[in-house]
């Protein structure tokens, strides 16, 4: 059986840089930082890191009814918003779909930590009888996918991928495979995260992984920079609409790009540290390229995982050089986490959207705050300003997660 070609027809993004594809992309191209001082956590509960890429203008009531909002955690609300934005972008409202051929793969790394904290306080202060009966459905990670399936009447495959910070990248990859195999015509794919809570931030801060550049929040996320001191936690959601080419053409859908490769590997090395030589990440990239026989020289742009951590940025740079050899120095590589912060499980789908829009507009977004490059990170990271009118026919998106999960997604300019 010949695998179905898979295209991207809709993009829905919710982030501190902008809500909705157009505002988000405008901010990314402009190099706008979404990092600021945390407002959601009381000062006495904040760890040494007091900054985050927090969304301060999100209004769930634009997409959900009051009763639905009351029964859902913020991470679910962010995912639902992204799904509606993606649906509208793909013009699904004007199309009659077979609901049994529409599926969802949407994950989260952390799930409903806001609800966990709130309900634990209720338990401690008021007793077990006062806890919400919706506590478990609010916090478990599959409920973003569950709500999206209900609200969009998607009766096909319904899955929740959880691979830490590679979660939504694997979600996109898994949705791609389902369509390739003919198990669905259209998939909602992505992830969401609402980790700006006292417990999550305290845990990461105790592990000394968060930046403490509290006096200059917008300059704190600085991937590949010699003075980076950790990542900046972020929140948001991203959902892509993936379709078989046959289905997309039949309904006259807008086509942004074609997905042409997916690589998934494990480091099998350490729970939190990447392999220093980046071997696992390199294999994921190689697998994505190998799927349809692309040579490394064909790739124009890589959206790096680029978290602004000391070990991670070095390992990824080594992995890229391992895969691309002499072409590595000709590649444009940038980290949009310098602007969005690290959305954990939602990062991969958001960054896949960046790759897709880079292909559409022939623009490579910048890595901001790259003032003093780390000598061990010696590639072209597109510092400070976006590059416009550049060739982007093939773009690769990298995502790596705690537990040694590696994922690479490959997108190409659509050709008939």
Give the pLDDT score at 303.
98
Q: What is the mean pLDDT of residues 160-186?
A: 98
Residue 298: helix, strand or coil by DSSP? helix
Helix H or strand E segment including 55: none
Cα torsion 347, 72, 16, 256 to 10°: value is 60
Mind listing the pLDDT tens digit for each residue in 292-346? 999 999 999 999 999 999 999 999 999 999 999 999 999 999 999 999 999 999 9
Q: Which domains, and CATH codes, for the chain?
A: 6-250 (3.40.47.10), 263-412 (3.40.47.10)
Res 2 pLDDT > 80: no
Residue 103 pLDDT greater than 90, yes or no: yes
Selected catalytic residue, list 152, 305, 355, 407: 305
d(CA 151, CA 299): 38
In this predicted structure, the answer to whether residue 156 has a pLDDT above a threshold of 80 is yes
DSSP one-letter code for 344: G
Structure token digits, residue 384: 């400070």
Q: Which one of 342, 377, 405, 407 is the catalytic residue? A: 342
Active site residue 152: no
What 3-state class would DSSP assign to 210? strand
Q: How far apart are CA 41 and CA 24, in angstroms?
A: 25
367 phi and psi angles, rounded to 5 deg? -100, 110
Residue 280: is its pLDDT beyond 90? yes
pLDDT confidence tier of residue 1, bands split at 50, 70 and 90: low
pLDDT tens digits along 18-68: 999 999 999 999 999 999 999 999 989 999 999 999 999 999 999 999 999
CA distance 395 to 393: 7
Q: Which residues of 111-123 are buried (b: 16+ CB within 10 A; e: fewer)?
A: bbbbbbbbbeebe
Q: In whole angstroms, what is the distance from residue 224 CA to residue 132 CA?
A: 44
SS (H, E, C) 56-112: CCCCHHHCCCHHHHHCCCHHHHHHHHHHHHHHHHCCHHHCCCCHHHEEEEEECCCCC
Q: Distance between CA 86 and CA 106 in Å, rounded?
A: 13
Reported residue count of the chain is 416
Q: Are 234 and 53 in contact (CB under 8 A)?
A: yes
Global confidence as pTM: 0.97
Q: In the annotation, is 305 catalytic?
A: yes
CA atoms within 13 A on the CB side of 145: 30
Phi-psi sector, 413: left (phi>0), alpha (psi -120 to 50), beta: beta
Q: Report the alpha-carbon distance of residue 345 to residue 162 in Å, rounded.
A: 8
350 close to 236: Cβ distance less than 8 angstroms: yes
């Amino acid at each position: 059986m010949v695998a179905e070609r898979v295209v991207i027809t809709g993009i829905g993004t919710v982030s501190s840089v902008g809500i909705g594809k157009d505002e988000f992309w405008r901010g990314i191209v402009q190099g706008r930082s979404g990092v600021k001082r945390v407002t959601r956590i009381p000062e006495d509960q904040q760890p040494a890191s007091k900054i985050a890429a927090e969304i301060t203008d999100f209004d769930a009531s634009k997409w959900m009814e009051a009763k639905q909002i009351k029964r859902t955690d913020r991470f679910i609300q962010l995912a639902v918003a992204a799904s509606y934005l993606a649906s509208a972008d793909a013009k699904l409202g004007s199309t009659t779909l077979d609901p049994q051929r529409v599926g969802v793969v949407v994950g989260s790394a952390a799930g409903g930590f806001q609800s966990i904290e709130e309900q634990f306080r209720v338990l401690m202060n008021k007793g077990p009888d006062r806890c919400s009966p919706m506590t478990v459905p609010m916090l478990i990670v599959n409920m973003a996918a569950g709500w999206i399936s209900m609200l969009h009447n998607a009766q096909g495959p319904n899955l929740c991928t959880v691979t830490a910070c590679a979660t939504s990248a694997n979600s996109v990859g898994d949705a791609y495979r389902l369509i390739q195999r003919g198990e669905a015509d259209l998939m909602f794919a992505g992830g969401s995260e609402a980790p700006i809570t006292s417990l999550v931030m305290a845990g990461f801060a105790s592990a000394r992984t968060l930046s403490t550049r509290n006096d200059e929040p917008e300059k704190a996320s600085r991937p590949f920079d010699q003075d980076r001191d950790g990542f900046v936690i972020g929140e948001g959601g991203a959902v892509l609409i993936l379709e078989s080419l046959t289905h997309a053409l039949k309904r006259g859908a807008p086509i942004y790009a074609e997905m042409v490769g997916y690589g998934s590997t494990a480091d099998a090395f350490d729970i939190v540290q990447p392999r220093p030589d980046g071997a696992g990440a390199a294999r994921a990239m190689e697998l994505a390229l190998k799927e349809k026989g692309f040579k490394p020289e064909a790739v124009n742009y890589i959206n790096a995982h680029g978290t602004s951590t000391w070990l991670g940025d070095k390992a990824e740079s080594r992995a890229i050089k391992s895969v691309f050899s002499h072409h590595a120095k000709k590649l444009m590589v940038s980290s949009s986490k310098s602007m969005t912060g690290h959305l954990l499980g939602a990062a991969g789908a958001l960054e896949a959207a960046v790759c897709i829009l880079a292909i559409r507009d022939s623009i490579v977004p910048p890595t901001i705050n790259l003032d003093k490059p780390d000598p061990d990170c010696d590639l072209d990271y597109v510092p400070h300003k976006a590059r416009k009118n550049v060739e982007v026919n093939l773009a690769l998106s990298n995502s790596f997660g705690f537990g040694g999960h590696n994922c690479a997604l490959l997108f190409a300019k659509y050709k008939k």
